[in-house]
Structure 1
């Protein structure tokens, strides 16, 4: 899974196509709980969108700009535009995240 390490890389990664971004932190227990499912999700959704990760603590300016107030937070992009967001309060389990991934681009 691609790891975003700079604001420029984030902008480049989300500017075209369908991209799902997960904001996380190494100390976050909810992030660690869902982390084992990323390979499964990458395979399952490979034809629909790509998934990348960004460490909120390593990109604090980006986190502030995007109003990432809790983690994990998922943001769905389509051609550079945010189309859906899953806030941390609703991203505590595999089932919650997967339900969001299933619906993010069906609007």
Structure 2
């Protein structure tokens, strides 16, 4: 299994979705993220991090609310937002850093 650091150090953008099972907006983002992945295919990696199961990682990135999205490029955080997003907004942000 790859470590979080290995995953975010890819040369393509990596979208990290910090979520919780009990979070309604997080559940509503799931199909949107699937559409983003199907539209962008290999141009993006999307990983989901359950904040309840990965509390140390959530603390490291100071995730206070869910959903929180972070975009990493070459291991560096280039964008972050805590809120639901529309598909076209997410794709626009990802393309900005592709």
TM-score interval, normalised by the smaller of the two chains: 0.7 to 0.9
Using CA pairs below 8 Å that are at least 6 residues apart, which structure has the higher relative contact order?
Answer: 2
Distance 1:29 1:19 in 2: 23
Q: How many residues align?
A: 96
- Shifted more, 9-18 versus 20-29: the winner is 9-18
CA deviation map 1:17-55 (0-9, x unaligned): 221110101000100112122321111122431111111
Is 21-30 or 10-19 further displaced after alignment? 10-19
CA distance in 2, matches of 1:30, 1:73: 11
User: TM (normalized to structure 1)?
Assistant: 0.78
Q: Deviations over 1:36-77 (max 9, x none)?
A: 223211111224311111111111011011011111111000
TM-score, scaled relative to structure 2: 0.84
Report the Cα distance in structure 2 between the residues aligned to 1:57 and 1:63, rounded to whole angstroms: 9
